[in-house]
Structure 1
Amino acid sequence: MSLPRIPRQRAIVSRRDLSAAIDKVVADKGAVTGRQDIVDLLRQALQDGRKELLDRLLKKPGSGHESAHGHAFLIDQVIRVVHDHVIEDVYPAANRSKGERLALIAVGGYGRGEMSPFSDVDIAFVTPDKPTSWCEQVIEAILYYLWDLGLTVGHSSRSLTEMVRMAKEDLTIRTALLEGRFLWGDQGVYESASKRFWSEVVPGTESQFVSEKLAERDARHKRMGDSRYVVEPNVKDGKGGLRDLQTLYWIGKYVHRVKSAAELVDKGLFTAKEYRSFRRAEGFLLAVRAHLHTIAKRGEDRLTFDLQREVAARMNYADRPGKSAVERFMQFYFLQVKHVGHLTGVFLAHLEEETQSRSRISEFFSSFRATRTVGDYPVENDKIAAPSEDWFKEDPVRMLEVYAVAEREGLEVHPSTSRALRRDAALIDSAVRKNPRANELFLEVLAGKRDPETVLRWMNETGVFGRFLPDFAKVNAQMQFDMYHHYTVDEHTIRAIGLLSEIERGALRDDHPLASDMLPKIANRRVLYVAVLLHDIAKGRGGDHSVLGAEVARRVCPRLGLDEGETELVAWLVRYHLLMSATSFKRDLSDPKTIADFVAEVQSLERLRLLTVLTIVDIRAVGPGIWNSWKRQLIGDLYESSVERLRLGHKAHGREERIAAKKAAVAELLGDKAHLVEELDDRFDDAYWIAEPEDVIALNLPHYAAARRLEHALSIHTEFYPALGATLVTVIGTDHPGLFFRVAGAIHLAGGNIIDARIHTNRVGKAVDNFLVQDPMGKPFSEPQQLARLKKSIEDALLNKIDMVPSLAKRPLKQTRAEAFQIAPVILFDNDASNRFTVIEVNATDRPALLNRLTRAMFEQSLIINSAHITQYGERAVDTFYVTDLLGDKIVTQERLDKVEAALRDAIAAGEPGLAAAE
């Protein structure tokens, strides 16, 4: 195996000129004295070659193969020059013995000729027998030169026999040698190594190699997140990345002894079209990796947010209406890894069947078993197959039917059938889309009772999904350039459908008791599945995707067979699919107006149930760690309050009964301290009893009673609150307007983030403020020393023992990933959301101590904060405050609102260097 022809090789490096320059140094100074000059010459050659290759890449930013082969060629020439210099000038041997022979073999990715600018250089030094002292000296001298050049060298030094023995024992060594390419030195030794590898190592181990490679691939995928649609993918090792393509080639070469991926077509493992797809995906991924390395100036293989924007610019992607350049680039990236996924699936499934070992006895008995059929479809090894090559061409509706049967029967789709589906997907035209039978089959899959998620993912991989539902094709592989969404839109949607199915089957009762109880009561089951399918269908079109998505729903649902009522219900759910989460996380659920406004939009118990389940699966499918017990509690509270209002009507009904029931529940929790409910009844108004959960009140009342008995001016309590996965911080003391910003600053200094705050001033002017706190990783403080540190920090801040502003300035918490984003601040005032308060919503880039700066600005503007609701969407913070002026009135005059907005903008800019500079 040799490298493809490199155009204008001498512009990259001229081995002849470099050797001549080294010869001149040796002649003038000698090999030892002139060593540093020789290293300088080699370093300059390497530097010039890399610059030439970078210039070529920038002129042709998609030329991945040319760049990879060019870098391999450059390293080849440098190593060859070094080798010749060492054996001729450093350790010359006039009459070498048979043992003093050395072959340099490029292995791994270097052997394959696929090198990125900062790839490791993997070399096997092979000798006929145990290395002689001359061989060891030469190897050492070569390696020192390469290390002096700053190359990362992976190397081994073995005899032919040792190489064979170790290759038999170690899969990694076997894989590296599989791609061995003669680099330089003794060609006879290389040929002996190659011959012995193929005659002594490979025969009889093909099946084992395939199974081990598949296991290795699965372990790597699991380590990388087990999805090819994660928004910060690893170009090399991620699912659908370069390593998956390499795995195909390794297995093909090992089993069929092909010398290039093109030969896999002759072996029937790829069609010519699939091979072109292989090459296109490989070239694109190699180009992306080359850009990543040159931008990062190191061997960086992860497409992080900060690098995505730069790579997109390098590869000449531009903004389009509704989609930024980086989103267009990443969509193309995910389409390529989707192709890799299909190629991998078909190829490896074929090979698994080829290499599956079956005993003669099992073959004998299997010959007596008739092939199982389901309808018209034969089933082999639990895989459903098309009866003939032209099956789908004869009737394209069958492309929906085969998936419906697979979902209903719990079968996989045979690899050859998946290949045919991918080939024939283009036959799905408007006639097929309008076909009632086709739409009925699609709904069968979507709302299937077994595993719709997996089957929909198969449909998506073959292109049948996008062809049948062109609106879904538009969000196929579409990423959202933010830190909140972990997956592409299509992957998020399919995961949400899978979660809905799991909840319906009772598999997630512990995680989602509310939804599990609700689903059997829902009358419009298929409406729910269609709403989950369509809730994000209009992302990337510009404008509000909820509004645009409702329009798509009104167009698509009748085609799918939904009646007018079902269509309107789906459209409403899509239009308002963010309403429940926005209300739960950004509004005060103890404010009667919040519940009244929400119920006015929802209107019925059935719509409430549908919206609740849709909200839960939507949040949970965003990514790991997004759904938590705090969000579960808020969604549950809003649901319960809304059910009560829907059943009882106006807020006056049931309010007194609700408070009385909560007092009774708190008394039960308090046990022998139940008398505190009655004793402190004149201290706390109805708003407190409605706002706080029973278990929090049961903690607050004894703390308050103790502080009153001991005449403590300030009482601070910190405790792990497992029910919500957070730490509860309670501050009891004389109320004053600066209390909130001081507590917020102190919690930040202790390394915490406030996720919710409820501020209460009781009837005698005492503050009873409850804060829910997590660490920067979204975990609670639970260790005694952590809780003590938190308490001490708040105490010192409130007693003025620390100067807050300089202390905060000294403790900037680095958020490097968020630095890739700049959220334009948006400040909204709403005087209709509450009867008593002005609601201020602040959207800004999430930064350390943002909450402290915002609340300090409100204090300086003479505002009193009644409650705060803190939400993070990745890099974006959405903080909502219910405020009044010092007299307890709303902020209504435009002049006053403008001053508050200006102060808040200044507070945001103080934490964002770019904004501060701009202003």
Structure 2
Amino acid sequence: MDRAGRTAAADELCVSAYAAAQAPETGCALVAVGGYGRGELAPYSDLDVVLVHEAAVGLGDAGERIWYPLWDSGAKLDHSVRSEQDVIEQADADVRVALGLLDVRHLAGDPNLTLRLRSSVLAHWRRTARSRLPALRELVAKRHALMGELAHLSVPDLKESEGGLRDATVLKALVATWLVDVPHVDLERSRRTLLDVRDALHGVAGRATDRVAPELWDDLADALDLEGADDAQRQVRQLGRRITHLSRLTWRRVDGVLARPSSGRRAELETVEPGVALSAGEVVLTRDARPADDPTLLLRAAAVAAERDLELAPATAARLVAECPALPEPWPPGARQALVRLLAAGTGLLPVWETLEETGALDAVLPEWERIRLLPHASAIHRFTVDRHVVETCREAARLIRGVARPDVLLVACLLHDIGKGGLTEHSVAGEPLARRIATRMGFDDDAVALVGLLVRHHLALVDTATTRDPADPATARQLADRLPDAEALSLLLALTEADARATAPQAWSSWRAGLVREVAARTATLLGEPATLLEGHQEVSVPREVRRRGAVSIQVEPAEGGARVTLLAPDRVGLLADAAALFALQRASVRSARAWSQDDIGVSVWDVADEHLDEAVLRNRFEAIVAGRVDPGARLRGDPSRIAPTVVVRPEASTRSTVIEVRTADRPGVVHQVCAALAALDLTVRSAHVDTLGPQAVDVFYVQEAHAGALSDTRAAEAAHGVREALS
């Protein structure tokens, strides 16, 4: 049964219940509101109804006589009984109630009362709109912050997420104010298609739900006659992005209306550059603009809008797409400069980019964009789809362009750094030739093209090296320096690395990770002939006298970003790091990253943990209990092994002084302790450890030596890897 059929059946049920209750035929009416009022019942939707009456009409127990047969039928009710005046007052007091009442629909009783109520609610909404819209916008913003974007969530909510059905309803309410308009065809088409998706979701889930759990995508695709889960995800994300775009555009227009006094005066055009003008807070074309004669006009208009944080009027963008000739190859300098201006705009980039996306302009400017459009990331830590992540990377890079010699190269590299995703080849490898081809088409010279390709090919090298290798080992910086031609390329790579990480998720660019990346960059800069001005850490720490003379332990706790930084110092010995790791595992303090090294026979370890309430005295007592054997961490931390087998690899090329063992496993309490304890049992010393937790995976690297004899032999390295693998399995 479709929505119209479900609504008709529910209407018949309500009419019958009203008649059986012998409710008054005048001065009283049963009305549908909300989604039921719009005739949009999903298979498991509630019936949202109100029994309205005039103040002078006594209902007695008529309400209960109506509700009971509806309950007996199995219908789920959201019901109330209100006087006509109560309804108006409630709508006036709560903007959410007002939104539901805008869709009042008559079911039974006095139709004149329903008509009067509907007219009163709508007139009141229009009369008070200017004063009420700020409160509505605040409600919408809070919901968006709480629920996230439909286009990017791994478990999207079709109703409450940004770009969902709730936003579509709000847009219809904004249109009802008569203050702004919305592209009706786009909105209604997207809204109805999203309603179809929700209907199908109810069907496959067998219950009322708006959240698409990961296991439902295949069944949902079947219900929607799509080829598979990927197609279903793409359709839902496309709908969410379109409604989000319409919502942002409309709210910006609302802001413009509220910011200026109401008058019937037509907005004046203000020319800002040839062919481009401002009008009513949007970027439009001048009256004498000739798009057919200027292939750069689209990008120039987009750049003006983004730089001024204004909307590129969708009608203007559509006209430019239709009338502007294709850009020649290579692009004229004006087009390339306009693209760089657009990418450098920072905050204003996203809404303009969305307009280019929704009007099809990107297909003409960057046809390769289709590869990554609405493509989900494989890693759960990413908060956006690949295309949106790329735009966010450009926005982050806009803050960094003053620190590099070639801002244009940096921004284009940011735009193209993930262009290779979506295939079977590793994306940085696949992306390099694509990036070179695109940069050539854009009109960059050979040196700039080579630099863009290099940055795309190695955009993960700096962060991977910094988080999985020892910065103090000369081989670490040498490996990176061998990939780069000069310090200018390193500077660009450092900026791209930061922008990429910040656009991924907050934890991808914590102060800890930033410090590691900058330290490796500084050491690499020295090898490339530049002074190490970026060096920020792995400096020697001051060792307290009681540690050096009496062999005591020192534990210092400092507040850090979202947690604490703990520095532990004690006389160095085999197993020290295992005991320190056990301390945090027993505290159930999540270790985000850690560094450990030996300094003049003192073992130093610095731990970045997600716990803001650590007490130095408690940590010291527990650590001493572990060392003394009064607490057995192995027994307390023993639990179910990961269902995914750990990967333990020896990296002989990573160091000339130690044997590097890289461990990748599902993150859980005690991983670092288990690894270090396994190595200590083999009488091996961990000279440096680099612990990094990103999303659900731990990537831990240990620089291991024989207790008194340097790097391990091949036999001992294999023995160590086997011992670690066995401890984790």
What band does the TM-score fall into relative to the shorter chain? 0.7 to 0.9
Describe the superposition over 1:458-496 as per-residue Cα deviations: whole angstroms up to 9, x where unpaired: 433433234311112321222214321111222222222
Task: Write the letter of the residue equivalent to 1:412.
Answer: L
Q: Which residue number in structure 1 is paired with residue 283 of structure 2?
A: 384
Q: Which residue number in structure 2 is paired with residue 13 of structure 1?
A: none
Q: How many Å separate the matches in 2 of 1:405 and 1:748?
A: 53
Note closer, same or farther for the CA distance 1:488–1:124 as it changes in structure 2 (3 Å cut).
same
1:773 aligns with 2:611: no
Describe the superposition over 1:784-842 as per-residue Cα deviations: whole angstroms up to 9, x where unpaired: 3xx444444433333222333442257x99xxxxx9xx867443321111012221222
Note closer, same or farther for the CA distance 1:378–1:608 as it changes in structure 2 (3 Å cut).
closer
RMSD: 4.1
Q: How many Å separate the matches in 1 of 2:605 and 2:728?
A: 25
Note closer, same or farther for the CA distance 1:303–1:427 as it changes in structure 2 (3 Å cut).
farther
User: 1:883: Cα distance to partner?
Assistant: 1.8
User: 1:195: Cα distance to partner?
Assistant: 4.6
Note closer, same or farther for the CA distance 1:291–1:877 as it changes in structure 2 (3 Å cut).
farther
Q: Which residue number in structure 2 is paired with residue 841 of structure 1?
A: 662
Describe the superposition over 1:855-898 as per-residue Cα deviations: whole angstroms up to 9, x where unpaired: 344445554322221222312221111123556454454x7666
Q: Which residue number in structure 1 is paired with residue 236 of structure 2?
A: 333
From 688, 691, 706, the counterpart of 2:546: 706
Note closer, same or farther for the CA distance 1:857–1:466 as it changes in structure 2 (3 Å cut).
farther
Q: Which residue number in structure 1 is paired with residue 478 of structure 2?
A: 596
Note closer, same or farther for the CA distance 1:346–1:733 as it changes in structure 2 (3 Å cut).
closer
SS in structure 2 at match of 1:840? strand
Task: Write the letter of the residue equivalent to 2:321.
Answer: A
Q: Which residue number in structure 2 is paired with residue 61 of structure 1?
A: none
Q: How many Å separate the matches in 1 of 2:491 and 2:379?
A: 30
1:744 aligns with 2:581: yes
Q: How many Å separate the matches in 2 of 1:313 and 1:585?
A: 43
Q: How many Å separate the matches in 2 of 1:155 and 1:468?
A: 53
Describe the superposition over 1:657-679 as per-residue Cα deviations: whole angstroms up to 9, x where unpaired: x9xxx9xxxxxxxxxxxxxxxxx
Task: Write the letter of the residue equivalent to 2:317.
Answer: L
User: 1:767: Cα distance to partner?
Assistant: 5.4
Q: Which residue number in structure 2 is paired with residue 799 of structure 1?
A: 628
Task: Write the letter of the residue equivalent to 1:383.
Answer: E
Task: Write the letter of the residue equivalent to 2:433.
Answer: E
From 154, 163, 178, the counterpart of 1:240: 163
Note closer, same or farther for the CA distance 1:608–1:377 as it changes in structure 2 (3 Å cut).
closer
Q: Which structure dedicates a bigger proportion of its chain to helix?
A: 1
User: 1:187: Cα distance to partner?
Assistant: 4.4
Note closer, same or farther for the CA distance 1:861–1:311 as it changes in structure 2 (3 Å cut).
farther
User: Which sections of structure 1, spanning at least 5 residues, go unmatched?
Assistant: 1-6, 8-65, 88-92, 257-266, 320-324, 505-518, 663-689, 814-818, 910-919
Task: Write the letter of the residue equivalent to 1:866.
Answer: R
Correspondences of 1:56-95 after superposition (within 5 Å)? 66=2, 68-69=3-4, 72=7, 75-76=10-11, 79=14, 87=21
Note closer, same or farther for the CA distance 1:847–1:461 as it changes in structure 2 (3 Å cut).
farther
Correspondences of 1:398-413 after superposition (within 5 Å)? 398-407=297-306, 410=308, 412-413=310-311
Q: How many Å separate the matches in 2 of 1:372 and 1:114?
A: 46
Correspondences of 1:691-702 after superposition (within 5 Å)? 692-694=538-540, 697-698=541-542, 701-702=543-544
User: 1:536: Cα distance to partner?
Assistant: 1.0
From 98, 107, 112, the counterpart of 1:183: 107
Q: Which residue number in structure 1 is paired with residue 558 of structure 2?
A: 720
SS in structure 1 at match of 2:701? strand
Describe the superposition over 1:372-402 as per-residue Cα deviations: whole angstroms up to 9, x where unpaired: 5532334223432124699545655422232
Q: Which residue number in structure 1 is paired with residue 318 of structure 2?
A: 422
User: 1:453: Cα distance to partner?
Assistant: 2.5
Q: Which residue number in structure 1 is paired with residue 394 of structure 2?
A: 497
Task: Write the letter of the residue equivalent to 1:281.
Answer: S
Describe the superposition over 1:108-128 as per-residue Cα deviations: whole angstroms up to 9, x where unpaired: 122222234554442211123
User: 1:170: Cα distance to partner?
Assistant: 3.6
From 336, 341, 346, the counterpart of 1:440: 336
SS in structure 1 at match of 2:656? coil
Q: Which residue number in structure 2 is paired with residue 286 of structure 1?
A: 195
Q: How many Å separate the matches in 2 of 1:854 and 1:301?
A: 43
Correspondences of 1:602-613 after superposition (within 5 Å)? 602-613=484-495
Q: How many Å separate the matches in 1 of 2:83 and 2:499?
A: 59
Q: How many Å separate the matches in 2 of 1:903 and 1:556?
A: 49
SS in structure 2 at match of 1:399? helix
From 249, 253, 273, the counterpart of 1:374: 273
Q: How many Å separate the matches in 2 of 1:845 and 1:862?
A: 26
1:628 aligns with 2:552: no
Q: Which residue number in structure 1 is paired with residue 90 of structure 2?
A: 166
Describe the superposition over 1:233-274 as per-residue Cα deviations: whole angstroms up to 9, x where unpaired: 432222222122222222334549xxxxxxxxxx9853xxx6
Task: Write the letter of the residue equivalent to 1:834.
Answer: S
Q: Which residue number in structure 2 is paired with residue 473 of structure 1?
A: 370
Alpha carbons 1:478, 1:488 under 8 Å: kept? yes
Alpha carbons 1:248, 1:347 under 8 Å: kept? yes
Q: How many Å separate the matches in 1 of 2:705 and 2:225?
A: 51
Larger CA Rg, structure 1 vs 2: 1
How much identity, in percent, do the aligned residues show? 25
From 141, 156, 164, the counterpart of 2:80: 156
Q: Answer with 740-749 or 181-190: which moved more.
A: 181-190
Note closer, same or farther for the CA distance 1:808–1:102 as it changes in structure 2 (3 Å cut).
farther
Task: Write the letter of the residue equivalent to 2:539.
Answer: P
User: 1:449: Cα distance to partner?
Assistant: 6.2
Note closer, same or farther for the CA distance 1:105–1:356 as it changes in structure 2 (3 Å cut).
farther
SS in structure 2 at match of 1:561? coil
Note closer, same or farther for the CA distance 1:759–1:219 as it changes in structure 2 (3 Å cut).
closer
Q: How many Å separate the matches in 2 of 1:429 and 1:798?
A: 75
Task: Write the letter of the residue equivalent to 1:132.
Answer: G
SS in structure 2 at match of 1:485? coil
Task: Write the letter of the residue equivalent to 2:104.
Answer: G
Q: How many Å separate the matches in 2 of 1:160 and 1:827?
A: 72
Q: How many Å separate the matches in 2 of 1:110 and 1:541?
A: 44
Note closer, same or farther for the CA distance 1:707–1:212 as it changes in structure 2 (3 Å cut).
closer
Note closer, same or farther for the CA distance 1:781–1:177 as it changes in structure 2 (3 Å cut).
closer
Q: How many Å separate the matches in 1 of 2:414 and 2:597?
A: 39
Alpha carbons 1:717, 1:729 under 8 Å: kept? yes
Q: How many Å separate the matches in 1 of 2:429 and 2:216?
A: 32
Note closer, same or farther for the CA distance 1:140–1:792 as it changes in structure 2 (3 Å cut).
farther
Alpha carbons 2:45, 2:208 under 8 Å: kept? yes
Q: Which residue number in structure 2 is paired with residue 916 of structure 1?
A: none
Describe the superposition over 1:494-516 as per-residue Cα deviations: whole angstroms up to 9, x where unpaired: 22212222234xxxxxxxxxxxx
Q: Which residue number in structure 2 is paired with residue 114 of structure 1?
A: 40
Task: Write the letter of the residue equivalent to 1:174.
Answer: A
1:870 aligns with 2:691: yes
